[in-house]
Amino acid sequence: MKKLYIETLGCAMNVRDSEHIIAELNKKENYTLTDNIKEADLIIINTCSVREKPVSKLFSELGSFKIKKKDGAKIGVAGCTASHLGKEIIKRAPYVDFVIGARNVSKITEVLDKKHAIEIDTSYDESTYEFEDYRSSKYKALINISIGCDKSCSFCIVPVTRGEEISIPSSLIINEVKRAVKNGAKEIVLLGQNVNNYGRRFSTNDNGAKNFTQLLKEVSKVEGVERIRFQSPHPLHMDDEFLEEFANNPKICKQIHVPLQSGSTKLLKEMKRGYSKEWFLNRCNKIRELVPDVAISTDIIVGFPGESEEDFKETMDVLEKVRFDTLFSFKYSPRPHTPAASYPNQVPSEIASRRLSTLQERHKEIQFEQMQKQVGRVVKVLFEDLRSDGKIAGRADDGRLVVVKGSEELLGEIKDVKITKAYLTQLEGEISGV
Ligand code: 5AD
Ligand code: SF4
């Protein structure tokens, strides 16, 4: 048996791509996983390039792999940075053996033995590929429903690294859902860069779901599916039909990511997001009205080119109005091949940093208050993580982390939990009725 060490950075799509790589290498080349880099015959880093930070991390990680690896072990770079930097990577780190892009992971066994192979074609269509079954979580199955993104937000490198948007025919998705459930999955996480734009363009047609709402209905009909989540949706495609399905389908978890990016309509236009501040607020109000116990998360970028104090105030205003349960916030990072990188009026780094802390500090207060409101509620938790201190953790339907006293027999079970205590990022509770 040969040993594979794989490090994954970035989003859930990268996690799924790593699972795909692991399965291919296991089935065709007999590799098994190891956590010990020194005994690995093959070391792969699957990277993200959405901001500059993970790209610099790639090169520092590669340097340390080179020192730690055993003689003859190969090093490969996969994922989004592989797609956009291509042969640059081998120029900067000549000891790297191959580079394989985010859209090409199913070709992993083809590049293994080709010294300095570079496989980064984003027009390569692997959407009808029969996915292999390796899953890093036993109870939760990540399932791709589309690949790529057609949106071209002006700050975002994803359309460059993952190519044009293609939806996977629903018959293939449903087969994969059935297989996952047969193997013990209770929760299905539907993945796409622009997940609720499902149906934009199919690789091959079938007679199944033509849009995201229809797909949610189909997936929820599969016997054994207990929970459905999805990642990452776009606010523009949250029409009423979709929001009603989200609210009324009991299998759909009441957690939704509504990425704002900026609260200023002027900046949203420059970002090419396709919605205004008013549209965003209208959608969030509607979600809270239909599902009062919903948890809403968001992404916000500060310091986008041209962002004035007024624009930033608009973002803070949305924060106050929506009171996001979770916030992912970033300083704008100019990315190669994106229009915004050459926009005039780039915001000085110190100003962006100051805005980021203002935003994060205020959000922390809101988050704490939102968490306190959970005390006394009874929530459904899927237990997944047994800890050494006699406690077991899982996610509530709304995505919050919940810890209770308990042991192994709770693993994979969904139970009602009464929340007794709330911290900033986790809740404590007791299983109801025991
Ligand atoms: N700079 C900063 N943040 C970015 N994101 C995407 N591109 C950039 C960039 N150039 C953020 C967005 C997106 C999240 C995944 O990453 O908020 O929703
Ligand atoms: Fe990037 Fe915009 Fe596509 Fe999201 S919707 S992946 S931010 S281009």
Choosing from 196, 301, 307 the residue with most ligand 1 atoms within 8 A of its CB, the one to mutate for a pocket test is: 301
Residue 152 CA: which ligand 2 atom is closest? 8
Residue 261 CA: which ligand 2 atom is closest? 7
Residue 333 CA: which ligand 1 atom is closest? 1
Choosing from 50, 84, 154, 156 the residue with most ligand 2 atoms within 8 A of its CB, the one to mutate for a pocket test is: 156
Choosing from 330, 331, 335, 355 the residue with most ligand 1 atoms within 8 A of its CB, the one to mutate for a pocket test is: 330
Residue 11 CA: which ligand 1 atom is closest? 15
pLDDT of residue 132: 64
Same fold, 140-372 and 378-431: no
CATH tag, 378-431: 2.40.50.140
How many CA atoms lie within 13 Å of 201's alpha carbon, on the beta-carbon side? Answer: 9
Please tell me whether the peptide bond between 137 and the residue prior to it is cis, using omega within 30 degrees of 0.
no
pLDDT of residue 137: 87
Residue 50 CA: which ligand 2 atom is closest? 1
Cα 194 to ligand 1 centroid, rounded to whole Å: 14
Find, among 86, 48, 41, the residue nearest to 65 by Cα: 41
Is any atom of ligand 1 closer than 6 Å to the C-beta of 231?
no
Phi-psi map region of 293: left, alpha, beta (phi>0 left; psi -120 to 50 alpha): alpha
Cα 259 to ligand 1 centroid, rounded to whole Å: 10
pTM above 0.85, yes or no: yes
> Domain ranges in the chain?
2-119, 140-372, 378-431
pLDDT tens by residue, the chain, 434 residues: 899 999 999 888 999 999 999 999 999 999 999 999 999 999 999 999 898 888 889 999 999 999 999 999 999 999 999 988 999 999 999 999 999 998 888 899 999 988 898 988 888 776 655 566 778 888 999 999 998 999 999 999 998 888 899 999 999 999 999 999 999 999 999 999 999 999 999 878 888 889 999 999 999 999 999 999 999 999 999 999 999 999 999 999 999 999 999 999 999 999 999 999 999 999 999 999 999 999 999 999 999 999 999 999 999 999 999 999 999 999 999 999 999 999 999 999 999 999 999 999 999 999 999 999 999 999 999 999 999 899 999 999 999 999 999 999 999 999 999 999 999 999 999 998 75
DSSP state of 261: B
Mapped onto helix, strand or coil, the DSSP state of residue 326 is: strand
Is any atom of ligand 1 closer than 6 Å to the C-beta of 299?
yes
Cα 24 to ligand 1 centroid, rounded to whole Å: 30
- Please give the distance of CA 57 from its chain centroid, rounded to a whole number: 19
Longest dimension (CA), the chain: 62
Ligand nearest to C-alpha 273: 2
CATH architecture of 2-119: 3-Layer(aba) Sandwich (3.40)
Is any atom of ligand 1 closer than 6 Å to the C-beta of 332?
yes
Q: For strand 117-119 and strand 98-101, is the pairing parallel, antiparallel, or unpaired?
A: parallel
Residue 334 CA: which ligand 1 atom is closest? 10
Cα 338 to ligand 1 centroid, rounded to whole Å: 12
The fold of 140-372 is pyruvate-formate lyase- activating enzyme (3.80.30)
SS3 percent helix, strand, coil of the chain, rounded to 5, is 40, 25, 40
DSSP state of 202: B
Residues forming beta bridges with residue 428, ordered by sequence position: 403, 421
pLDDT of residue 103: 87
